[in-house]
Amino acid sequence: MRSAPAPRSPAGAGVKLLLVLLSVLLPAASGAVRAQPAPAQAGGGVPVTATRAERRDLPIYVSGIGTVQAWRSVQVRAEVTGYVQSLHFREGQEVRQGDLLAMIDPRPYAAVLAQAEAKKAGDEATLANDEVNLRRDSALAKSDFASRQQVDNDTALVRQYQANVQADDAAIAAARLNLDFCRVTAPIDGVVGFRLVDIGNLVQANGTQAIVSLQQVRPIAVVFTLAQDQLPAVRAALAAGKPEVLAFPADGTTPLAAGTLLTPDNSIDSATGTIPLKAVFPNADTRLWPGQFVNAHLRLRTDPGAVTVPLAAVQHGPDRLYVFVVGGDGTARDRTVAVGYQDGSIAEITSGLAGGEQVVTDGQSRLQNGTHVTVRTPAPAS
């Protein structure tokens, strides 16, 4: 007689089933992981932007904040007292030297001129009569029909009225000058400002009230400051010729105008340690205007055959400056460099590069020595 089989434990059956399932799923999952390809980089290397180190003649500039100033500025005032009869300008108008700006009532001065001319006519008549008397008495004195005393008196009268006529000429000249001053004309070429008087206003000779202001804007000046340490280089540039000065807007990269350095001031500002300089600009298109703030860039010299790279290519290490150079095998390696002159976009490399090397300008944070790179074309400047 055969004995019945012992019943199986449910827990043991479950464990066995779980082991079977794992033996099936794990190889499948492992195969799926191995089947996924590794992410490939475009071109097979770290993408970077690069450009060639360029050898060229490099102008060296220093810059300072400056203010545009009128070449000449005049407050036009009356030279005679009177009422403003008419105004002959528009506010903001550009005028030439000698143009009529205003007319002061000329009638009082015309009357003074007429009076001076009349007095001269009377004195000339008296002088003519005295000259006749002198000639007659001189002839009579030769025959003792007139005394010597009479001749002397006639001579004195002639000289007196000759002096009177000269004084009359001076009075006439002064009266004519005052009459001319009734015509207020532009003393210089320039731009007229806002009018400061109206028709009918009384203006005083040499008073404080101006009729209008006038500022010459062609040419125009820019006054800017540099550190006193730059003065020897500035003087050397002046000795070599007329250094170029470019005027940039306060927040721009395109120059407004080009001019030349005129002179540094005759003293250094001891409070700030700076030296003021003045440059002159033709300003034919009037892009510079009095009171405008600009950045003045003074060209000190030109370094011939300088090696230059974009400033973004220069990296700052703990104890050195370096650039990443892309070799012919497509790998990037850092190279220590020395930087001379630099501005907002260009750095002059004085050692470490010979020119022509391809240097990385963007993407350096992902590079190490020997990293394989793929060079992208730089985006065109907008």
Question: Does 87 share its domain with 194?
Answer: yes
Residue whose entry in the numeric block shows the structure tokens 């490099």: 58
For the record, the structure tokens of 77 come out as 């005032």
pLDDT at residue 150, as a whole number: 82
At position 259, the amino acid (one-letter code) is: G
Domain presence at residue 258: yes
**3-state SS, residue 30:** helix
Domain presence at residue 22: no
How does DSSP classify residue 6?
Answer: P
Question: Does 112 share its domain with 132?
Answer: yes
Question: Does 200 share its domain with 86?
Answer: yes
At position 55, the amino acid (one-letter code) is: R
Q: Which residues pair with 260 in a beta bridge?
A: 244, 280
Distance of CA 275 to the CA centre of its chain: 16
Question: Does 96 share its domain with 191?
Answer: yes
pLDDT at residue 140, as a whole number: 78
Domain presence at residue 143: yes
Cα separation, 26 vs 184, in Å, equals 106
Q: Could you list the pLDDT tens digit for every one of the 382 residues in the chain?
A: 344 444 444 444 444 444 444 454 444 444 333 333 333 344 468 999 999 999 999 999 999 999 999 999 999 999 999 999 999 999 999 999 999 999 999 999 999 999 999 999 999 999 898 888 888 878 777 777 778 888 788 789 889 989 999 999 999 999 999 999 999 999 999 999 999 999 999 999 988 999 999 999 999 999 999 999 999 999 999 999 999 999 999 887 789 999 999 999 999 999 999 999 999 999 999 999 999 999 999 999 999 999 999 999 999 999 999 999 999 999 999 999 999 998 878 999 999 999 999 999 999 999 999 999 999 876 665 5
Cα separation, 47 vs 44, in Å, equals 9
Question: Does 206 share its domain with 91?
Answer: yes
**3-state SS, residue 126:** helix
Q: Which long-range contacts (CB under 8 A, 24 or more apart) does 205-210 make?
A: 205/78, 205/79, 205/80, 205/81, 206/77, 206/78, 206/79, 207/77, 207/78, 209/77, 210/75, 210/76, 210/77
Question: Does 220 share its domain with 287?
Answer: yes
Domain presence at residue 1: no
**Cis omega before residue 187 (within 30°)?**
no
pLDDT at residue 379, as a whole number: 64
pLDDT at residue 31, as a whole number: 39
Among 49, 61, 46, smallest CA distance to 309 is for 49
DSSP-assigned states of every residue in 224-240: EEEEGGGHHHHHHHHHH
Question: Does 126 share its domain with 139?
Answer: yes
CATH of residue 280: 2.40.30.170
CATH of residue 203: 2.40.50.100
Domain presence at residue 43: no
Range of the domain at 340: 48-59+304-376
Domain count for the chain, please give it.
Answer: 4
**3-state SS, residue 114:** helix
User: Would the pTM of this model clear 0.85, i.e. be above it?
Assistant: no
Last residue of a domain, one of 261, 276, 303: 303
Domain presence at residue 95: yes
Domain presence at residue 226: yes
Domain presence at residue 40: no
CATH of residue 349: 2.40.420.20
Cα distances from 358 to residues 93, 164, 178, 355, 374, in angstroms, run 56, 94, 78, 9, 12
Question: Does 135 share its domain with 155?
Answer: yes
List strands edge to edge, sheet with 183-185.
Answer: 183-185, 100-104, 82-87, 202-203
CA angle 21, 25, 30 (to 5 degrees): 150
Helix, strand, coil abundance in the chain, percent, nearest 5 = 30, 40, 30
Question: Does 222 share its domain with 297?
Answer: yes
Question: Does 236 share its domain with 200?
Answer: no
Question: Does 97 share its domain with 199?
Answer: yes
CATH of residue 151: 1.10.287.470
Question: Does 135 share its domain with 233?
Answer: no
